[in-house]
Chain A
């Protein structure tokens, strides 16, 4: 009640009427129609995204195409992928560098390839590189199909076999 009385005492009459205490100049609000967009947070988000993508970018630069429908097995304790001679097993067929090869001709082809790699190394003055064979197959492939490749590569003189897997 005392607050109300003090408000009444402070109201000064004007020519246009009684002036309001809360809005002494009238309830005229200037509306600003121009909206300013705060870009700082957007820049922050973009910067973080760029940094994350740069860090997760693969450094090896190796490209290996996996056929549609092929599921590679997964493993945790793996080595970095280094592109070498690739042999794929798909639908019970063998593909050496994307060229289909019959089971009976596998040893001969691998032997020829090995000779070619060694001669190229000699021409380029490169110390004899490790003769490795990379095998790519679906995880449901039975071992008997892989056995053919393992035996053939051994007869052809390939030192090491690299099984392509998905890193966990």
Chain B
């Protein structure tokens, strides 16, 4: 006698969906929506001062009005035409704000002519905003000037 049993089994998805719902809720609660990070700088003065010595270094002075004075120290021998362009330059502000675009272009030019440049010193004035100081350091980092220092007042 042939039995007409239905051998097809159906997977019950309801518990699986419950599990996924709980997992999603837990992950949403613990998710990190804002990534925090740090910008590390070496100390430039004191007993633990960074070893500046005769290393090629790029000094960036930020004044209260937003202008930047960029000067290259201990640079190697360069052609006179290039030396004039990159050794010391003043970047005026744009509408009262620091001109990061011109600064980045200038640092890029210096890096092209002085590939060994790794050290950058930032020298902000008293009223310079913390954000401006960070943006200058970030711009230096973007051009692979990785060893950064902050010069205190």
Contact = CB atoms under 8 A, between A and B. Distances in A.
A144 B126 CA distance: 5
B131 interface: yes
A167 interface: yes
B37 A144 contact: no
The binding surface of chain B is classed by DSSP as: mixed
Interface residues of B, number: 47
Given A43-B20, A75-B135, A166 B34 contact: yes
A72 B80 CA distance: 42
A66 to B, nearest CB: 8
A66 B33 CA distance: 14
A42 B17 contact: yes
Range, interface on chain A: 35 or more
Contacts of A82: 38
Contacts of A56: 31-32
Interface of A: 39-40, 42-43, 46-47, 49-50, 53-54, 56-58, 62, 64, 66, 72-82, 132, 134, 137-144, 146-147, 150-151, 153-155, 157-167
11 contacts: A39-B13, A40-B13, A42-B17, A76-B142, A78-B138, A81-B37, A143-B124, A143-B128, A154-B45, A159-B43, A160-B40
